[in-house]
Chains A and B, each alone.
Chain A
Amino acid sequence: MAEVLVLVDFANGTVKKSTLELLTAARVLGVPSAVVLGAPGMAGQLIETLTAYGASKIYIVENSDFDGYLVAPRAEALAQIAGQAMPAAILVTSSAENKEIAARTAYKLGSGFLADAVEIDEDGDVKQSVFGGTVSVTSKVTKGVPVISLRANAVSAQAMPAEGEQIPVIVEVSESAKSARVLDRVQEAKGSRPALQDASVVVAGGRGVGSAENFSIVETLADSIGAAVGASRAATDAGWVPHQMQVGQTGVTVSPQLYIALGISGAIQHRAGMQTAKTIVAVNKDPEAPIFELADFGVVGDLFSVAAQLADEVNKRKG
Chain B
Amino acid sequence: MNIVVLMKQVPDTWAERKLDGADNTLDRAASDAVINEIDEYAIEEGLLLKEAHGGEVTVLTMGPDRAAESIRKALSMGVDRGVHVVDDALHGSCVITTAKVLAKALGTLDYDLVIAGSEATDSRLAVLPALLAEALGVAQLTGARKVTVDGPTVTIERTTETGFDKVEGSSPAVISVVEKINEPRYPSFKGIMAAKSKPVTTLSVSDLSMSADEVGLAAATTAVKSFEVAPPRTAGTIVTDQGAGGSAIAEFLIARKLI
Contacts and interface: CB of A to CB of B under 8 A. Distances in A.
A135 B232 CA distance: 10
B121 A249 contact: yes
Interface stretch (B59-67, B68-76, B77-85, B153-161): B153-161
Contact of B239 (A130, A272, A298, A302): A298
Interface in B223-259: 223-230, 232-233, 235-241, 244-250, 252-254, 256, 258-259
A87 interface: no
* B127, B160, B166, B232: most-surrounded residue (chain A CB, <10 A): B127
A248 to B, nearest CB: 10
B167 A70 contact: yes
Nearest to A146: B222
B96 A135 contact: no
Given A107-B96, A294-B235, A298-B239, A181 B169 contact: yes
B165 A312 contact: no
Contacts, number: 266
Nearest to B241: A301
Interface string A143-176: 1100000000000000000000000000000001
A131 B230 CA distance: 10
B220 interface: yes
Contacts of B221: 106, 111-113, 141-144
B162 A187 contact: yes
A63 B120 CA distance: 33
B139 to A, nearest CB: 4
Interface in A191-219: 195-197, 201
Given A182-B166, A300-B241, A268 B13 contact: yes
A17 interface: no
* A140, A185, A275, A279: most-surrounded residue (chain B CB, <10 A): A185
A238 interface: no
Given A112-B222, A279-B258, A280-B233, 19 more contacts: A72-B133, A103-B125, A103-B130, A130-B124, A132-B13, A136-B229, A180-B139, A180-B173, A182-B165, A184-B165, A186-B163, A187-B162, A243-B159, A250-B178, A287-B240, A293-B233, A313-B250, A314-B250, A317-B259
7 contacts: A70-B140, A137-B19, A142-B222, A196-B161, A225-B259, A297-B238, A306-B246
